Amino acid sequence: MSIHKKTRQIILTGLMINYPMNILVIWFLLDVMRLSSTWAIATCTSVIFTLVSYTRVYAVLYLAESKVNPLARVMRTRRTSTKRGKNNV
């Protein structure tokens, strides 16, 4: 997988996960926890986002590179069979 495709995949999954999570975290910190300190809200948000982002990037890269991902297995098979076909001709 090219660097551009990996980057795009990571950024898009980040957008899909982080935007709704941002709304949920801010709501939780402001309305449920009743935090009013800007420093406390920013620190809590940064810690939560760091943990979620690390997990998200790890999962995306693991699935992209591992045999767990059926699409990666299919793409490897196609590349191998295409190379074999060109070599035999």
Please tell me the predicted confidence (pLDDT) of residue 27: 96
Q: Which two tokens stand for residue 40?
A: 């406390």
Residue ranges per structural domain of the chain: 3-88
If you average pLDDT over residues 51-75, what whole number do you get?
75
Alpha-carbon distances, residue 51 vs 44, 48, 56, 76 (angstroms): 11, 5, 9, 31
Alpha-carbon distances, residue 59 vs 7, 33, 63, 77, 85 (angstroms): 14, 30, 6, 22, 33
- Per DSSP, 22 falls in state H
If you average pLDDT over residues 19-31, what whole number do you get?
95
Please tell me whether the overall predicted TM-score, pTM, comes out greater than 0.95 for this model.
no
Burial class (CB in 10 A: 0-12, 13-18, 19+), 13: middle
